[in-house]
Amino acid sequence: MKIAVIDSGVSEDYAENENNITNGMNIINSKLPPSDDNGHGTNMMKTILELSRSNKFENYIQLIPIKVLDSKATGKKEDIIAGIKYAIEDTKADIILLSIGFYYDFPELRNIISKAEEEGILVVSAAGNDSSSVLYPAAYPTVISVGGVTDGLELQTLSNSGVGLDIVAPWDYKINKDTFTGTSISAGLVVYAAAVIKNQFPEEVLSHLRNRIIINTKEVKNSPKLDDSVGFVDINKAITNENSSLVFPTQKEVALTLPIGKERFCIIDKKERWFKITSDFEGTVTFLIQNDKDNELTASTININEKKYNIGKKESLVFSIGKGVNYFSISTDLDNMNYLITPVLEIQKDEYEPNNKQNEAKMLSVGPINNSFYQANINTNNDKDWYKFVVQENKKIKIIVQSDTTRFDPVIQLYSSENKLIKKSDRSSAGSTEEIEVSLTPGTYCFSVNNDFSNNYNFSYLFNITYGE
């Protein structure tokens, strides 16, 4: 089992004595070996290798260090993409471990992760360690995203969670006197599990193997931040359970969650079975439904909420959903059809839309300090929201934009009625508050709000416009 560890490399002292570690590659400087000047990559290697050794599995694994992170454990976007590309094209890796994440989705990352999928390589990635939204690439549908839990199987407070999280594993891992912590380590532990499980099911196609790992888990402590589809990695269960697909119950009360933005194999038959989608927002959910590739049948019929749909190789079915739990019944006219289903959420437009252009700006009133906030949504790629307001007398005006997700890097731009840019504010980055404070003379002004992470959407934000002193 070849495991590409795309990280800060491996320390020469450690690698020297290990037959399980290959020479690897230094993407930052290809003339140099992938020496670890940070320690993060070496810790990942140690975690996987020591765990393998204590379970007599070390003869089955080979670790490939691919250095893309520097001494501060930071890396250039281009190097990280190049490291993944190298792992796919030059190493014949079975598994890629990416304990690296971005706050934002971008095409190069999305495309290279799709390439790994096409090549049959399992990608495992850390959810992130700042109590916020799941990072990319972990949040992509085909990546196993890993969060961290305490010994008591409770979500570790720093672990990222919510939409996009697949599985959890220990937040910390002890080797001799050292304790390694964070979702990087959690992801490393899941990589070890994935290697053992894959070794037992060498013929299983990637999407089924991934599903097997994600759905055959141990229950964890309930948390509002953890979807009930998320469990604790369980090698034994994944190996002994024949099933690599979800089987929905026939009673609505115990419907299983189908997680938003992630693909799952589901066995559907003639019985009416139940699943649910839990959403923080009103909007639509599109079910991307595929007949199982292994199945020769290329067309079938399914019934969702008592309506019939013809399913070819691939279909998209759109349903309205409300905030909270949404139940769906599902059946087919056939026995035991395996479908790959990915629910994709699009939250609804806010009440100020359409306001993507300056001449569509919505008029709002300016309030006193501590005025209540307006709420709006970023509901599509590049959604831009224009607002305008009137100032009656010389006043200091303050505009605040804030959100609770690191998927939002707010930008505010304030313009005069003559269309002159008065002020732009983009001082802070992911998930932080942006504000403009400026003295204005009487007149009409407008401002725009947009996300600097232009590919990220599906969240709401709060804003207000107030008078200063």
* Residue 383 binds Ca ion, judged by CB under 5 A: yes
> C-beta of 436: minimal distance to Ca ion in Å?
11
Size of the site for Ca ion (CB under 5 A): 10
Which two structure tokens, joined as six digits, stand for 325? 């739990």
| Encoded amino acid at 174, one letter | K
Active site annotation includes 234: no
Place of tokens 């099933």: 243
Cα dihedral across residues 222, 228, 232, 237: positive or negative: positive
Q: Among 38, 142, 355, 458, which residue interacts with Ca ion (rule: CB under 5 A)?
A: 355
> C-beta of 441: minimal distance to Ca ion in Å?
27
Query: Among the options 8, 35, 36, 40, which is catalytic?
Result: 40
Q: Looking at beta carbons only, is 239 or 364 nearer to Ca ion?
A: 364
In whole angstroms, how far apart are CA 174 and each of 16, 43, 47, 169, 183?
A: 22, 11, 9, 14, 14
231-233 and 143-149 as β-strands: parallel, antiparallel, unpaired?
A: unpaired
- Starting at the earlier edge strand, list the strands of the sheet with 2-7: 25-26, 62-67, 2-7, 95-98, 122-126, 143-149, 167-170, 231-233, 217-218
Q: Among 385, 408, 412, 447, which residue interacts with Ca ion (rule: CB under 5 A)?
A: 385
**Helices (H) then strands (E): counts for the chain:** 7, 30
Region binding Ca ion by CB under 5 A among candidate stretches 62-70, 79-87, 172-180, 343-351: 343-351
Is residue 386 classed as helix, strand or coil in its secondary structure?
strand
The helix or strand, by DSSP H or E, that contains position 98, with its residue range, turns out to be: strand 95-98
* Residue 430 binds Ca ion, judged by CB under 5 A: no
Q: Looking at beta carbons only, is 227 or 409 nearer to Ca ion?
A: 409
Query: Among the options 132, 159, 184, 300, which is catalytic?
Result: 184
Q: Looking at beta carbons only, is 339 or 457 nearer to Ca ion?
A: 457
Q: Among 293, 426, 437, 439, which residue interacts with Ca ion (rule: CB under 5 A)?
A: 426
* Residue 263 binds Ca ion, judged by CB under 5 A: no
* Residue 403 binds Ca ion, judged by CB under 5 A: no
Query: CA–CA separation, 61 vs 196, rounded Å?
Result: 9
> C-beta of 452: minimal distance to Ca ion in Å?
6
Q: Among 409, 413, 445, 463, which residue interacts with Ca ion (rule: CB under 5 A)?
A: 409
- Give the up-direction half-sphere exposure of residue 71: CA atoms within 13 A in the CB hemisphere: 1
Q: Looking at beta carbons only, is 38 or 450 nearer to Ca ion?
A: 450
Query: CA–CA separation, 422 vs 443, rounded Å?
Result: 13
* Residue 433 binds Ca ion, judged by CB under 5 A: no
> C-beta of 384: minimal distance to Ca ion in Å?
5
* Residue 447 binds Ca ion, judged by CB under 5 A: no
The helix or strand, by DSSP H or E, that contains position 63, with its residue range, turns out to be: strand 62-67
Query: CA–CA separation, 8 vs 68, rounded Å?
Result: 6
Region binding Ca ion by CB under 5 A among candidate stretches 123-131, 295-303, 320-328, 356-364: 356-364
Active site annotation includes 178: no
> C-beta of 132: minimal distance to Ca ion in Å?
15
Q: Confirm if 124 and 93 have CB atoms less than 8 A apart.
A: no
Active site annotation includes 409: no
Q: Among 62, 286, 356, 371, which residue interacts with Ca ion (rule: CB under 5 A)?
A: 356
Q: Looking at beta carbons only, is 381 or 439 nearer to Ca ion?
A: 381
Our CA angle for 297, 302, 306, nearest 5°, is 170
**Contact positions toward Ca ion, by CB under 5 A?**
350, 355-356, 383, 385, 409-410, 426, 428, 434
Any idea which residues carry the catalytic annotation?
Answer: 7, 40, 184
